[in-house]
Amino acid sequence: MHETELHDLSDDADYAASQLQGSVSMERSDSVKTTSSAEPEGAELVYLKDNVTIHPSQFASERISGRLKLIKQGLSLLLTWIPYKGHNTNARLSEKDRNLYTIKGISFSDVRSIRRHTPTLGWQYIIVVMSSGLAYPPLYFYSGGVKEFLATIKQHIFIVRSADDANVFLVNDFENPLQRTLSSLELPRAVVANGLSASTSVSASHPAEKQPIDDGSVSGDIASLSLYNGRPRPKVHDPARDLSIQVLEKFSLVTRFARETTSQLLRESLNNGYGANERRDNSLHHQDYSCKPSPDPEKAPEEVPVVPDPLEFDKLSLVWGKPRQSPLGSEEWATFLDSEGRVIDSKALKKRIFYGGVEHRLRREVWAFLLGYHAFDSTCAEREYRRSMKKLEYETIKHQWQSISAEQAKRFTKFRERKGLIDKDVVRTDRSLSFYEGDDNPNVNLLRDILLTYSFYNFDLGYCQGMSDLLSPILYVTEDESESFWCFVAVMERLGPNFNRDQNGMHSQLFALCKLVELLDRPLHNYFKQNDCLNYFFCFRWVLIQFKREFEYEKVMRLWEVFWTHHLSEHLHLYVCVAILKRYRNKIMGEQMDFDTLLKFINELSGYIDLDAILRDAEALCICAGENGAACIPPGTPPSLPVETSLLFPQQDDVL
């Protein structure tokens, strides 16, 4: 996938940088204390500890040792932890796995607290918790030195011991009035820290044996160099990634994403020229966003400083799950089935599809499972039988409207109106696709027949615009009338409330979205509130037809199959909304978009959204939000199954 390659560029950049580093390290003296060459300019190494180790799992063989450092740069203090290369002998962890845990220079201005653990047996360890609520995995001090570590920090920045827990040291506790005051006196620190975070990303893909790389600044030159090197790197499945999530989840002691207003205002005033935009632009992960729609030329927007994102993407990437994989193919699919065609482990299958989707030729078969048309534990024979029974059932319902004569139709206004609407809409659905193009296209007629049959199957709901958008890819995939119908029925089981006349399904989702943004990006929420945008109507099309109009056709199918796995959440689509909004938050707030401008901007994002990157962000957001996120979404919010059937109100036809 294109995006995956883009994503991997950053790895290549790291790789190139580390290669460069490797060659330079021969000439460099090994005096670590001579920091001017090893650390970013003006940086001073104030603490160094070897044999600090991360335990990604309970297996001793998977432990990763490295070097922990505190680096003082100007008024800010940075922490890095770089794993050694080839130190552990096991083959289970790849370089990439180790790289995953690398701490590439976090600034203490972004740290909320440090928890110290001093068990009577075993190693001492610390856990660093970020202001965003993210926690790094425990760092075990195999050679001791936790006390010294904390003492060093204390020399350089203000930390206080928590009143609640003597082992917790608060770094940026904005609930503490004293500290708030002190923080406000340390303004330059925040500025420097913000400005640095991109340039201090320290690379450690391939450091020399026992020689961690400790300067970084992966420059653009090096990044582009790696392109020409064209060194392909094998994409590995990394089970450790899952473990990392568990670890992070487990130790996410604080899930308070929004800071006190005071600190927001404080940062706002400081953020000129150091906005998250710049930081993000430096990140190669996000290069693919350079082609966003150009701003309204005559608007000449005046960029205003925006409140920084409390949950930024450089942190989000820490909880990115597996990298997006290639789609599930036939051979792998076969391994999920037993000899009679049952899916052995549906959970594993869903997870696999969540991370990579399905090859197109397998979609017909797999979608039927994902949508619940076939049970995972059904055999091939059972499915064959079911298909034939369901076909008969479909024909019966279809016959109900087919048998309405022209005379009868004259006295059946509702039928005429419905048919008229559907007739008008199927010829306006994906006609640029070869599957539906041209006059008298039989597939367009199938769309009409299925929708009309559905309006008899669910007479109360009937037909509403948007349904044809949902049906179109299903028919395209199954190429079978009855099967499309039943798959569509399954989709509408969940999304039917989107089309209720009173729009209750839409409103409940937009409301949940509002709550999620409040949880995951309070400053953005406040901005929407101030600008009268809390109805989230600008996300209406996204939610109504599940991003059908926002991506090219193939990508829509990919996205939907990911949604349908319900892996992590039934409401991943809402996290996708949040992820997209967060990608553009600085632009939205910086240009002071009002409702109209925002609506237009969001509309024009269509075709410019990077699906894989957004899915990873959405996944990370979903994990970060955890139970708090789930609590934002009331039971029965589509696409959850309705809590009670009465949610589907009978409604009048939509003929206006």
Partner 1 sequence: MSYAYLFKYIIIGDTGVGKSCLLLQFTDKRFQPVHDLTIGVEFGARMITIDNKPIKLQIWDTAGQESFRSITRSYYRGAAGALLVYDITRRETFNHLASWLEDARQHANANMTIMLIGNKCDLAHRRAVSTEEGEQFAKEHGLIFMEASAKTAQNVEEAFIKTAATIYKKIQDGVFDVSNESYGIKVGYGGIPGPSGGRDGGASQSGGCCS
Q: Which residues of the shown chain bind partner 1 in the complex (CB under 8 A)? A: 297-298, 300, 421, 424-425, 427-432, 437, 464-466, 468-469, 499-501, 503, 535, 537, 540-541, 544-545, 549, 595-596, 599-600, 603-604, 654-656
Which of 164, 298 has the CB closer to partner 1?
A: 298
How many Cβ atoms are within 10 Å of 463's Cβ, its own excluded? 21
Comparison of 147 and 299: residue with beta carbon closer to partner 1: 299
How far apart are the C-alpha atoms of 21 and 216, rounded to whole Å?
A: 9
CB of residue 413 to partner 1, shortest distance in Å: 10
180 or 549, CB closer to partner 1?
A: 549
CA dihedral 324, 565, 549, 601 (to 10 degrees): -60
373 within 8 A of 389, measured Cβ to Cβ: no
Largest Cα separation within the chain, whole Å, is: 96
> Shortest approach of partner 1 to residue 249 CB, angstroms?
36
Task: Closer to partner 1 by CB, 17 or 426: give it.
Answer: 426
Structure tokens at 348: 């594993």
**Minimum Å distance from CB 264 to partner 1?**
28
Q: Rounded to an integer, what distance in angstroms lies between the CA atom of residue 572 and that of residue 425?
A: 29
What is the sign, positive or negative, of the torsion defined by CA atoms of 632, 638, 644, 650? positive
Sign (positive or negative) of CA dihedral 490, 494, 498, 500:
positive
Nearest-approach distance from CB 292 to partner 1, in angstroms: 16
Q: What does each C-alpha distance from 567 to 175, 470, 549 come to in angstroms?
A: 36, 21, 23
Based on CB atoms, which residue is closest to partner 1, 257 or 536?
536
Comparing CB distances to partner 1, the nearer of 208 and 599 is 599
- 3-class secondary structure, 499: helix
Q: Count the helix, strand and coil residues of the chain and give each as a percent rounded to the nearest 5.
A: 50, 10, 40
Which DSSP string do the residues of 18-35 spell out, in sequence order? Answer: HHHHHHHHTTS---TT-H
Q: Which residues, listed in sequence order, are joined to residue 115 by a DSSP beta bridge?
A: 127, 168
Please identify, using beta-carbon distances, which residue of 216 and 473 lies nearer to partner 1: 473
Can you tell me whether residue 149 is helix, strand or coil?
helix
Give me the sign of the Cα torsion angle 642, 644, 647, 650: positive
Minimal distance, residue 469 CB to partner 1, in Å = 7
Sequence-ordered list of residues with C-beta below 8 angstroms from that of 506, at least 6 positions apart, any chain:
497, 498, 540, 543, 544
Closer CB to partner 1, 469 or 518, in the complex: 469
**What minimum distance in Å lies between the beta carbon of 32 and partner 1?**
58
Listed in sequence order, the residues at least 6 apart from 20 whose beta carbon sits closer than 8 Å to its beta carbon are 222
Minimum CB separation of residue 653 from partner 1 in Å reads 8
CB 587 within 8 A of CB 299: no
Asked whether 392 and 630 are in contact (CB, 8 A), the reply is: no
For the CB of residue 466, give the shortest distance to partner 1 in the complex, in Å.
6
Rank residues 504 and 526 by Cβ distance to partner 1 and give the closer one.
504
> Considering only CA atoms, which of 459, 388, 468 is closest in space to residue 421?
468
Whichever of 485 and 542 has its CB closer to partner 1, that residue is 542
In the numeric block, which tokens belong to residue 556?
């829509």
Question: Using an 8 Å Cβ cutoff, are 48 and 72 in contact?
Answer: no
Taking the least distance from each CB to partner 1, the nearer of 405 and 432 is 432
Helix (H) or strand (E) holding 363: helix 360-370
Q: How far apart are CA 65 and CA 81, in angstroms?
A: 9
CA distance 232 to 9: 10
Cα–Cα distance measured from residue 377 to residue 537, given in angstroms and rounded to the nearest whole number: 41
Cα 192 to Cα 407: distance, rounded to the nearest angstrom: 80
Q: Are strands 64-73 and 124-130 parallel, antiparallel or unpaired?
A: unpaired
CB of 472 to partner 1, least distance (A): 10
* Closest CB 357 distance from partner 1, rounded Å: 24
Pick 177 or 607: Cβ nearer partner 1: 607
Q: In angstroms, rounded to a whole number, what is the distance separating the alpha carbons of residues 543 and 274?
A: 33
Cβ proximity to partner 1, 254 vs 599, nearer residue: 599
Nearest distance, CB of residue 600 and partner 1, angstroms: 5
In angstroms, give the least distance from the CB of 654 to partner 1.
Answer: 4
Minimum gap (Å) between residue 652 Cβ and partner 1 = 8
Residues 573/546, Cβ–Cβ less than 8 Å: yes
Q: Which is nearer to partner 1, 549 or 587 (CB)?
A: 549
d(CA 87, CA 95): 11
Strand partners, 337: 343
Q: What is the nearest approach in angstroms of partner 1 to the Cβ of residue 634? A: 20
Report the residue number, 391 or 549, with the smaller CB distance to partner 1.
549
Least separation in angstroms between CB 621 and partner 1: 24
How many residues does this entry show for the chain?
656
